[in-house]
Amino acid sequence: FQGESIDSYAATQGTEGKWTGCAPYSTHLLFFKESHIHKLYGSYPSQFQIVSQEANGVEYGSERSIAIIEDLVFYKSRIGLLTYGGDRPRLISAAFDNHSYRNAVCGANRRKYYCSMDNEVGEREFLVYDAATNMWHREDDLNATCFCFYDEQLLAADSDGNVWIIDGG
């Protein structure tokens, strides 16, 4: 490295699996695989340091489930929906009992985590987690394809091309 702005940086990881997501967290970046969380520290190449942790990461197919509320990263893993606060991921979907979901697309606004997911029979469900009360609520069958936070409102686009205001003012 010459120490110039055009320098590049590359790193390899020996963990198995495809990369399934990336999120900013605190002073570093998180890179996910289904069974690992890789933390990239540093602000320029000569300072970069990667710390890997074997843990439930983002499930393949649920790459768009990552959202941040305050100091927690929320995402869908193979075992359910989790929060990550710097230590070990914590399961927040134990209330679903034996219901399994996949292909999660999620967004967050204020203290709520909104998830549009396929249930075990392939039907789309729209569920909301309130982080303040630790409670889940089933809303409807909105098939959100993406979420976007704009002008203090969470917006969702559905599979028909409609845009919805979610938990707006």
Residue 149 has pLDDT above 90, yes or no: no
Task: Please tell me the distance from the alpha carbon of residue 89 to that of residue 163, in angstroms, as a whole number.
Answer: 32
**Cα gap 131→147, rounded to integer Å:** 18
Note the pLDDT of residue 47: 83
pLDDT at 50 over 80: yes
Share of the chain above pLDDT 70, in %: 93
Average pLDDT over residues 24-53: 91
pTM: 0.90
